[in-house]
Structure 1
Amino acid sequence: MRDFQRIATLIGKEVGIKLPPAKRLMVEGRLRRRLRHLQLETFADYGDYLFRKNGLDRELPFLINAVTTNKTDFFREPEHFECMENVLVPDLLSRRTERAPLLKVWSAASSTGAEAYTIAMVLADMAAARRNFRFAVLGTDISTDVLEAGRRAIYAAELVAPVPPGMQSRYLMHARQPGTRPEVRVVPELRRQVRFDRLNLMDANYPYDRDVDIIFLRNVLIYFDKQDQASVIARLVGHLRPGGYLLLGHSESMIGTSITMRQIAPAVFQKV
């Protein structure tokens, strides 16, 4: 129990995620593979390795990968993508005077990339129809495992079921000889529009542009305490251009009550 509390304190300090005692069995379950890899027999041995045998510097990225929750889906909370298509992008383009402006969209807790590629699919369809803007999507996460999955852009076929059939035909490739578990891959034309990078939202500064048009920060703040929530939001809003938009998860709508931005839809806020 003492080692779990030290791990929980460490994770809270490093990445902002709170691990109450009720999460102990979950954390131990997720770490079993690491114990086998390190040839350790018990979690007490793992605690010794981390805190008493100077293993923390080497092990921290693997520990973070193990304990972070990476739930994601294509077209999760679809109202946000409808809002982006019908309200946010038209408004943003109406404010730009240059020819074919570049819209920058950031998926700030991108997990394995489903959200980032959903954004890219919607924007690619819009760009093909309107022919008056370009776009780039940035996906960031703290877990190196999920970032690599996003870069590969290979998903089990059942995971892309929420993607509309037309988008599936345009943006997903099926293996010519599918295996026992059919998989699809995002087409290279769309993969080139999406970049993945490692970022700890708890960092004091983010090394990205400050003229981002839309930031998706959905279903991650629920794991932070109120002070860290406010700090992360403030840092991200600093990267939005005037008139840009921040989208939170619907389960985080109450968090939005403290944001000094204009709310234009459920969990959708505009920087004024």
Structure 2
Amino acid sequence: MTTMEPQGGFSYSEADFRRVQDIARREAGINLPISKRSLVFSRVSRRIRATGRASFRDYLDYVSGREGQDELKELICVLTTNVTQFFREKSHFEHLEAHVLPQLGEKLRAGGRGRLWSAACSTGQEPWSMAMSVMAELPDALRMDLKILATDINHAVVETGRIGQYPAEEVRSVPQRWQDAYMEPMEMEQVSMAREIRRLVTFRPLNLNREWPFKGQFDVIFCRNVVIYFDDETRNALWKRLADRLVPGGFLYVGHSERVDCIRECHLEAVAPTIYMKKG
């Protein structure tokens, strides 16, 4: 058995890494290849120190038991990657604004409901970008039955999104007129999402590979740059679940390096690169 003796004082064996792999796959559907072994050591070591456990084995025994269930959530958080920015993959927002929101607005003004979901919202830039697109295209959105749900498995980044405060340098990709309309300057070169737009977005922690505590369907789902961490079986199962939650004619947006392979089983059709529509 190979054991690493890195700086930091914790031995780290192949068996330890395999246990982390098993936990990540079982709890979150995350596939950790051998190339991530050093990254896993770095991130898990932080949690070992924070909890005062004696070793990898001691820590993994702890999170596998009843008393360590809260810490298990923290472990999953450190194993997830959170890379995002406002209006990332801009073509998705251009499609949303040009082809989806005008029709959705007609439905809403006729008394219907509209629901959008940012299914891996990270620190919130994606759902706030969705909200700005909505407000720009549907200025009367706050008087309609329109909501945006923002979820992520990592409770810490969900809280960051809910707070909605960002360094000013992170909002440079936001058009200035939208910064003026939907953001408020703060001290220390920070900006905050404005009070009105906050009424559109609800943030909740959610594991996409567990039961979902809501039953309704969505007009729009953004699930981007998530399934790249899943194996084929987990990936296809998620696509099917997401497709089931789309209304007929609803849209699924996926990451630029992702695609839905089970398109026929999901009753989806590709309408543009990485954009799919639910068949009516």
Partner of 2:3: none
1:149 aligns to 2:160 (yes or no): yes
TM-score under structure 2 normalisation?
Answer: 0.86
Aligned equivalents of 2:27 and 2:49: distance in 1? 24
* Count of residue correspondences: 265
1:71 aligns to 2:77 (yes or no): no
1:171 aligns to 2:171 (yes or no): no
Contact 2:150 2:203 in 1 (8 A): yes
Partner of 1:227: 233
Which stretch shifts more, 251-260 or 30-39?
Answer: 251-260
| Seq. identity, % | 37
Aligned equivalents of 1:129 and 1:54: distance in 2? 48
1:243 aligns to 2:243 (yes or no): no
Q: CA deviation at 1:191?
A: 1.3
1:263 to 240, 250, 270: 270
Aligned equivalents of 1:82 and 1:57: distance in 2? 42
TM-score under structure 1 normalisation?
Answer: 0.89
SS class of match (2:139): helix
Kindly provide the CA deviation profile for residues 141-175 of structure 1, in whole angstroms up to 9, marking residues without a partner as x: 11111111111111122211111111111111111
Aligned equivalents of 2:66 and 2:169: distance in 1? 42
Gaps of 5+ in 1: none
1:135 aligns to 2:142 (yes or no): no
Kindly provide the CA deviation profile for residues 59-113 of structure 1, in whole angstroms up to 9, marking residues without a partner as x: 211101111111111100000000000012224445x386254321000111111
1:208 aligns to 2:214 (yes or no): yes
Kindly provide the CA deviation profile for residues 202-261 of structure 1, in whole angstroms up to 9, marking residues without a partner as x: 12x422243310000111011111111111111111111111111111110364756531
Partner of 1:38: 51
Aligned equivalents of 1:89 and 1:100: distance in 2? 15
Gaps of 5+ in 2: 1-13
Aligned positions of 1:4-83 closer than 5 A: 4-40=17-53, 42-51=55-64, 55-83=67-95
Aligned-residue CA RMSD (Å)? 2.3
